[in-house]
């Protein structure tokens, strides 16, 4: 029944509930009656199609009623197995069913049963492919960019200059600033780019600046644990400011601070940016004139940008939609959309994203909207275009977009974390639930299907997938890509991946999302303004420095959190512990807090520095929990009761102080799919035998027996997508042959034939191993670490054969991103003519002194990488002579300069404080190094 609209929502979908009710029929015949009534409700809603911007308040209220009803029914069903002697409590069971049936009748008597006044829904075809572009079209901004570049670099002023880009939201300030930053960053000794947003964490911002200008500082300021009290300590702001000042005092630096909203934030950041007349530069962007004036004391340093004129707007618009002239199809509507944008780049980008998504047609109500463009101001044009973009999304995509409201503005949202959360929140539809519901309804398995998503609504095959059925992870990746296509999120790249690793959300778009989320009770964000609705999804923002607001929120939410299904804590929870009637950690009156949230499906505490193991007491009572995120916290153990979480699908314990082993009770978690741990943790062999695992990273391998267990996991698992392995050289140093044999076996396994991403560390690189890796036909990204296991400088030996050669006959036909990291005397690579013809990005991470001692030169053969567009060299200056570091840079510049592709070159130097002055060169020596550490990490084709 192609084209018939179907209902849609997330955790607690009607299809899922209908199927779950079949399992309870044996308890009482009234269950069957409830199932029939629910099916009537489903059929009634199947007459409704939803366009969010056109829903009247009665429809919105009724949608909320139905959503809450479905949530409550699913919560009740999911708790049934945990209810003792359910069969002996038929009276209570029947009473509960009667209450649900009464609520269904109330929903059926609403205005929603009259579909005549309701609008249609846009049919959307998901783009079958996507081309990620790191550089946004700068049409109309060429002149401002050239002027800013000249202003920042053209004068030979030694004073520190702070230039501010000022303009309203949506004018393209960030895009312009990024392009300027990219163009001139190579002229400075160190650089950093940070985004703040409206509620920034100044400590994290300063920490990020410090880590970017001085990468070696990251290890120093990582989470620290007091062994006496087990306390985690976040880096102190004053210490960070002092350390940043000291490092920058002698440097010529360039800092881009994007999205300043307050003079107070600038005052703190500015206190760590010395003005030592080194020719340093700072570039800021802001919407507020007072902030710009505080940042830039000289009026000439404030650069105001205005909306584009009609000619420039048209050029940008046509370039964004990849057309040389106005398209013939729907030309009038397209032009009216363009006019509605009013020269605002953000609106133009959103409109182009709408067209890029290949909408077959705009709904009639929206055609009338864009036909009356004269009534809209420039700011109204942005909001109207944004609303149209949102309306055109499939229902699951709307929910996935609204989910971004749980995060703070200005932060980078990690892609993998976001997709895991989407899956755990059931925002990505599960085909099994729909199939089972169809069988119950007797639909005969026709093409009609429910697409999932939190919002109650209907669509005509919106967001359907083509080809073979995809996994939830693959579908999540498609959703992430489509939000990028539609320009609703901005991708974030790094040097080590060919795909986005995260995203940011423009402030205007985030405000729009937050507004919709708040109105629909989709997410409740902890703050001064409290919702009277029942809280289902709670995001506690601990970056809010207003203690009164925070205490009021926690105390007031005590009664509202009884039905919470999802809880995400952002920032450090130390400030809220023990200060109010409700705490999200520890105990209340000696009773553990966690068991009181018995309906929790998602608990994400990632990055809450002071979270400790005792705060997880009672977690075994959260029997419905599907997602537990405790990465970057101070926990050092898991309670044995963790094994009671039979529904757990994701467990993230990365960057914690976990002991060497996990509780054996975890072997009972048959639903576990994503296990994320550090390589120092040993996994019980029982866990490695679990067939449902899709992602395991990183497994500590300490013996030949554990190597065999990992090999067995690879051979038998049908769902495994990502596997990370850490080879401990201190335990395997006498068994290098078994490690070598294992690595060769891995590269030959049929299951790795479709591997696209490989992260591998090998003791020493040899031609045979390089050829094996090059033989992976679909490999796109390779991170190759060579660790020679050299512990002392006396063990370094001259290698007369030179670097390991990579040529045209070594394979690597599809590799586009390559990271080469050489440690402790590891083997380096040298490219010969014809090597890696598709390689676009190259990262070299090595020690200047070691390379010179072992090979006598810095000939990497970069000049033979014909498609190269970017080179990033991370050079360790440890025990190197000052002139050697300069020689390395000159050699890389010369090799890359011979390429017709003219790649961008960037240098990052670490351990600069350990450089040996030229006049002390005779005493230079390589310092002791640690033993071998190894890891393998691969991702299969998505």
- Which helix (H) or strand (E) covers residue 819, if one does? strand 817-823
Q: Residues 865-903: pLDDT tens digits?
A: 999 999 999 998 888 888 889 999 999 999 999 999 989
Q: Which of 258, 263, 256 is nearest to 290 (CA)?
A: 263
Q: Are 902 and 930 in contact (CB under 8 A)?
A: no
Rg (CA), the chain: 29
Number of neighbouring beta carbons within 10 Å of residue 906:
16
Which region among 60-69, 415-424, 675-684 has the lowest average model confidence (pLDDT)?
60-69
User: Judging by DSSP bridges, how do beta strands 253-260 and 413-414 pair with one another?
Assistant: unpaired
Q: Residues near 301 by Cβ (< 8 Å), separated by ≥ 6?
A: 151, 161, 162, 163, 164
CA-CA distances (angstroms) from residue 676 to 224, 644, 664?
20, 19, 16
Q: Quickly state the pLDDT bin for 160 (edges 50, 70, 90).
A: very high
548: exposed, middle or buried (C-beta count within 10 Å: 0-12, 13-18, 19+)?
Answer: exposed
Report the pLDDT averaged over residues 362-380.
51
Report the pLDDT averaged over residues 153-177.
88
- Average model confidence (pLDDT) across the chain: 75
Q: Quickly state the pLDDT bin for 142 (edges 50, 70, 90).
A: confident
pLDDT at residue 574 tops 60: no
pLDDT at residue 923 tops 60: no
pLDDT at residue 462, as a whole number: 34
Q: Are 899 and 864 in contact (CB under 8 A)?
A: no
Q: Residues near 203 by Cβ (< 8 Å), separated by ≥ 6?
A: 234, 235, 237, 240
pLDDT at residue 123, as a whole number: 38
Distance CA 569, CA 628 (A): 12
Which region among 90-94, 289-293, 716-720, 729-733 has the lowest average model confidence (pLDDT)?
729-733
pLDDT at residue 526, as a whole number: 74
Distance CA 63, CA 520 (A): 9
C-alpha torsion angle, residues 884, 887, 889, 891 (rounded to 10): -140
Start-end of CATH 3.40.50.300 domains in the chain? 142-304
pLDDT at residue 121 tops 70: no
Phi first, then psi: what are they for 124, rounded to 5°? Answer: -125, 135
Q: Quickly state the pLDDT bin for 939 (edges 50, 70, 90).
A: low
The residues with which 490 forms a beta bridge, in sequence order, are: 504
Report the pLDDT averaged over residues 754-780.
79
Of all residues in the chain, the percent with pLDDT exceeding 90 is 27
Q: Which residue has the higher pLDDT, 54 or 617?
A: 617
Report the pLDDT averaged over residues 805-825.
89
pLDDT at residue 4 tops 50: no
Report the pLDDT averaged over residues 533-556.
63
pLDDT at residue 41 tops 70: no
* The Cα angle at residue 713 between residues 709 and 716, in degrees rounded to 5: 130
CATH number of 142-304: 3.40.50.300
> 């040899």: which residue's tokens?
766
3-state secondary structure of 931: coil
pLDDT at residue 499, as a whole number: 81
Distance CA 190, CA 183 (A): 14
Report the pLDDT averaged over residues 461-481.
68
Distance CA 132, CA 119 (A): 34
C-alpha torsion angle, residues 221, 227, 229, 233 (rounded to 10): 0
Q: Residues 693-706: pLDDT tens digits?
A: 888 888 877 777 77
CA 227 to chain centre: 32
Distance CA 55, CA 391 (A): 11
pLDDT at residue 477, as a whole number: 93
Q: Which of 643, 695, 702, 649 is nearest to 671 (CA)?
A: 649
Q: Are 270 and 144 in contact (CB under 8 A)?
A: no
Range from 25-39, 484-498, 658-672, 894-908 that averages highest in pLDDT: 894-908
Q: Which residue has the higher pLDDT, 131 or 525?
A: 525
3-state secondary structure of 161: strand
């Amino acid at each position: 029944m192609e084209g018939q609209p179907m209902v849609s929502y997330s955790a607690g979908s009607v299809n899922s509930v209908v199927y779950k009710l079949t399992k309870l029929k044996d308890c009482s015949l009234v269950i069957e009656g409830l199932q029939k009534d629910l099916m009537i409700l489903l059929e009634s809603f199947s007459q409704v199609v939803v366009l969010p911007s056109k829903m009247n308040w009665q429809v919105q209220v009724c949608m909320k009623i139905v959503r809450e009803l479905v949530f409550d029914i699913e919560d009740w069903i999911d708790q049934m197995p945990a209810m003792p002697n359910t069969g002996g409590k038929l009276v209570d069971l029947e009473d509960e069913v009667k209450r649900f049936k009464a609520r269904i009748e109330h929903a059926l008597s609403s205005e929603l049963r009259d579909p005549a006044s309701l609008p249609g829904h846009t049919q959307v075809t998901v783009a079958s492919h996507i081309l990620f572009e790191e550089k946004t079209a700068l049409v109309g901004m060429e002149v401002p960019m050239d002027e800013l570049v000249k202003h920042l670099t053209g004068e030979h002023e030694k004073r520190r200059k702070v230039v501010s880009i000022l303009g309203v939201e949506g004018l393209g300030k960030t895009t312009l600033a990024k392009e300027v930053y990219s163009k001139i960053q190579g002229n400075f000794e160190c650089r950093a780019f940070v985004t703040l947003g409206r509620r920034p964490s100044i400590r994290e911002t300063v920490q990020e600046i410090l880590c970017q200008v001085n990468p070696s500082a990251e290890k120093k300021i990582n989470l620290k644990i007091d062994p006496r009290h087990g306390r985690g300590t976040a880096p102190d702001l004053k210490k960070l400011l002092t350390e940043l000042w000291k490092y920058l005092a002698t440097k010529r630096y360039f800092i881009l601070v994007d999205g300043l909203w307050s003079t107070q934030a600038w005052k703190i950041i500015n206190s760590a940016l010395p003005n030592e007349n080194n020719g340093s530069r700072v570039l800021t962007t802001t919407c507020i004139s007072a902030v710009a004036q505080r940042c830039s004391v000289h009026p000439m340093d404030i650069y105001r940008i205005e909306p584009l004129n009609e000619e420039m707007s048209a050029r940008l618009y046509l370039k964004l939609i990849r057309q040389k002239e106005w398209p013939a199809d729907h030309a009038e509507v397209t032009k009216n959309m363009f006019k509605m944008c009013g020269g605002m780049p953000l609106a133009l980008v959103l409109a182009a994203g709408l067209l890029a998504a290949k909408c077959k047609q705009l709904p009639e109500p929206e055609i009338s909207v864009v036909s009356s463009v004269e009534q809209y101001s420039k700011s109204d044009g942005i909001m109207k275009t944004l609303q149209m973009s949102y309306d055109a999304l499939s229902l699951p995509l709307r929910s996935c977009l609204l989910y971004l409201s749980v995060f703070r503005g200005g932060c980078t949202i990690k892609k993998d974390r976001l997709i895991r959360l989407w899956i755990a929140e059931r925002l990505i539809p599960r085909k099994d639930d729909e199939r089972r519901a169809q069988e119950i309804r007797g639909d005969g398995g026709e093409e009609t299907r429910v697409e999932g998503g939190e919002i109650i609504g209907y669509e005509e095959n919106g967001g359907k997938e083509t080809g073979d059925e995809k996994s939830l992870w693959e579908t999540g990746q498609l959703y992430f890509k489509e939000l990028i296509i539609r320009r609703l999120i901005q991708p974030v790249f790094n040097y080590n991946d060919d795909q986005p690793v995260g995203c940011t959300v423009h402030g205007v778009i985030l405000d729009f999302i937050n507004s919709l989320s708040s109105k629909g009770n989709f997410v409740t964000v902890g703050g001064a303004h409290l919702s009277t609705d029942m809280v289902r999804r709670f995001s506690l923002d601990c970056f809010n420095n207003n203690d009164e607001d925070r205490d009021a929120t926690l105390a007031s939410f005590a009664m509202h959190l009884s039905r919470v299904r999802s809880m995400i804590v952002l920032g450090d929870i130390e400030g809220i512990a023990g200060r109010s009637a409700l705490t999200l950690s520890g105990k209340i009156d000696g009773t553990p807090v966690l068991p009181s949230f018995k309906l929790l499906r998602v608990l994400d505490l990632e990055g809450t520095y002071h979270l400790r193991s005792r705060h997880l007491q009672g977690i075994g009572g959260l029997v419905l929990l599907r997602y537990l995120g405790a990465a970057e916290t101070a926990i050092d153990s898991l309670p044995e009761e963790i094994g009671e979480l039979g529904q757990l699908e994701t467990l993230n314990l990365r960057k914690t102080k976990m002991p060497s082993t996990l509780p054996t009770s975890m072997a009972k978690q048959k639903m576990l799919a994503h296990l994320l741990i550090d390589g120092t943790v040993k996994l019980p062999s029982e866990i490695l035998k679990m067939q449902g695992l899709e992602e395991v990273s990183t497994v500590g391998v300490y013996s030949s027996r554990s190597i065999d267990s990992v090999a067995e996991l690879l051979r038998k698992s049908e769902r495994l997508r990502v596997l990370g392995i850490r080879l401990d050289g201190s335990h395997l140093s006498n068994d290098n042959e078994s490690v070598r044999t294992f690595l060769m076996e891995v590269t030959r396994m049929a299951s790795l034939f479709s591997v696209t991403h490989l992260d591998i560390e090998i003791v020493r690189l040899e031609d045979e191993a390089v050829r094996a890796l090059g033989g992976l036909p679909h490999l796109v990204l390779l991170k190759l670490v060579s660790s020679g296991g050299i512990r002392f400088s006396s063990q370094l030996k001259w290698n007369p054969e030179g670097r390991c050669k990579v040529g045209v006959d070594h394979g690597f036909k599809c590799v586009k991103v390559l990271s080469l990291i050489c440690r402790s005397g590891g083997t380096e690579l040298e490219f010969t003519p014809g090597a890696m013809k598709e390689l676009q990005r190259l990262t070299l991470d090595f020690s200047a002194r070691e390379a010179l001692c072992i090979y006598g030169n810095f000939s990497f053969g970069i000049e033979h990488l014909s498609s190269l567009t970017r080179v990033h060299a991370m050079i360790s200056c440890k025990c190197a002579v000052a002139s050697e570091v300069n020689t390395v840079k000159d050699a890389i510049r010369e090799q890359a300069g011979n390429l017709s592709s003219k790649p961008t070159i960037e240098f990052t130097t670490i351990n600069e404080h350990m450089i040996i002055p030229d006049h002390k060169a005779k005493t230079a020596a390589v310092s002791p190094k640690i033993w071998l550490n190894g890891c393998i990490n691969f991702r299969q084709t998505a």
